[in-house]
Amino acid sequence: MLRVAGLLQAPALLLVLTTLFWGGNAVVGKYALNHMSGIELSFWRWVLAFLVLFPFAWRACLRDFAYYRKHLRLLLLLGILSVSIYNSFQYLALQWTSAINVGLVSATMPLEVFLLTWLFGQERATWLQKGGMLTALAGVAWVITRGDLQLLIGLQFNPGDLLMLCAVFCFALYSVLYRKLPAELDKLGLLLLLIFIGMFGILPFYLWDIQGHETLSLNLETGLILAYVAIFPSILSYYFWIRAVSVGGANQAGLFTNLISVFASLLAVIFLDEQLRGYHLLGMALVFLGILMATYLSKWYRQSQ
C-alpha cells in the first residue's frame, strides 16, 4: 500500500501512464468509429466510467459537497472543458481530418499550457524548460510528418483540424484552472463530479446525434471498446492527470502530452501491423530528450544555482 501511495506522488510515472492510455484511446477511438459516431462513443464512454467509479467515490464526493456547492461555477467549467468538449471534439475531428493533422494539433498542448500559465502568472519557465518543450515538439512533428517536412508545409486545415485545436485549447485551460482547487480535495470524488457534469454536458448533443439513424448495437466488440475507453483513458488517466498536475504543475504535465502521439504510433505498429521506421525512433528520441530537459535537468539546474 505504501509503495502504491509513493507511486501516486511521482508525477513523471503518472504522466507516462496517462499518455499511454490516451495513446491507446486514439487507436481504439479511430477503430470505434466503424461501429458508432464520435458523440455516441464519447457519451457512453463517460456513462460507463461514471457507473464503474461511483461505488468507490460517492462517499468522498459527498464529504466535499460543501466545497463543490461554494465553487460550482469553476467546477462546471472544469467538467465541460475536460469531459464534455475535449474527448467529444477529438472523436468528431477524426471523422473529418487525418491522423497527421490530429497529431500535429495535439502537439500544441505544451505551448498552450505554457502560454496560459504565463498569462495567469502561475508558473515561470526556465530556459531548459523552454528548450525541452521545443525539442519535444520537434520530435512529435518529425513523427507525424514521417520525417518529410514537406508534409508540414502542405497541410490544409479543415473543420476537423479546427475542432481538434479547440479541444486541445480546452484541455490546456482545464489543466491550468485546475490548480485553483485545493490539494486536500479527494481526487476520486472530484473526478466523479467532473464526469457527472461532463456527461450531462454531452447529453443534449447525443440525443440530437441519434435522431434519424441506427444507434450502436451492443456486442462483444463494442463492449470491449467501451470498457477500454471508460476505464483506462477515462478513470485512470484523468485520475493520474489530476494527481500529476497537483504535484508537478501544469507546465510539466502539458509537456508529457507529446508522448500521446509516440504511444499511439507504437500501438498502431503492434495492433495495426504498421512498420516502425527510422523517423519514429528519431522523433521518439527527441520527445524523451525534451522531457528530460524540462523536468530532471531543469530541476537539477535550479538546485545548483
- Residue 92, C-alpha cell as written in the block: 468528431
Map residue 264 onto helix, strand or coil. Answer: helix
Long-range contacts: 148-155, Cβ < 8 Å, 24+? 151/100, 152/104, 155/100, 155/101, 155/104
Q: Indicate the pTM of the whole model.
A: 0.79
Per-residue CA distances from 195 to 58, 91, 246, 273, 282 (Å): 12, 17, 19, 34, 37
pLDDT tens digit sequence for 223-268? 999 999 999 988 898 888 878 877 777 667 777 877 877 887 778 7
CA-angle at 170, arms to 164 and 175, nearest 5°: 130
Per-domain boundaries in the chain: 14-304
pLDDT tens digit sequence for 184-228? 888 889 999 999 999 999 999 999 988 877 677 888 999 999 999
- With a cut of 50, list the residues of the chain below it in pLDDT: 1-5
What pLDDT shows up at residue 3? 47
- CB of 171 within 8 A of CB of 82? yes
Per-residue CA distances from 264 to 23, 140, 261, 304 (Å): 4, 11, 5, 37
- CB of 292 within 8 A of CB of 128? no
- CB of 102 within 8 A of CB of 90? yes
Q: CA 68 to CA 89: how far, in whole Å?
A: 26
- CB of 243 within 8 A of CB of 103? no
What pLDDT shows up at residue 153? 64
One DSSP character per residue, 122-146 reads S----HHHHHHHHHHHHHHHHHHTT
One DSSP character per residue, 6-61 reads HHTT-HHHHHHHHHHHHHHHHHHHHHHTTTS-HHHHHHHHHHHHHHHHHHHHHHHH
Q: CA 95 to CA 160: how far, in whole Å?
A: 7
What pLDDT shows up at residue 2? 38
What pLDDT shows up at residue 133? 75
DSSP 98: -
- Could you tell me how many residues make up the chain? 305
Q: CA 107 to CA 241: how far, in whole Å?
A: 17
What pLDDT shows up at residue 272? 66
Q: CA 21 to CA 287: how far, in whole Å?
A: 17
- Residue 26, C-alpha cell as written in the block: 486514439
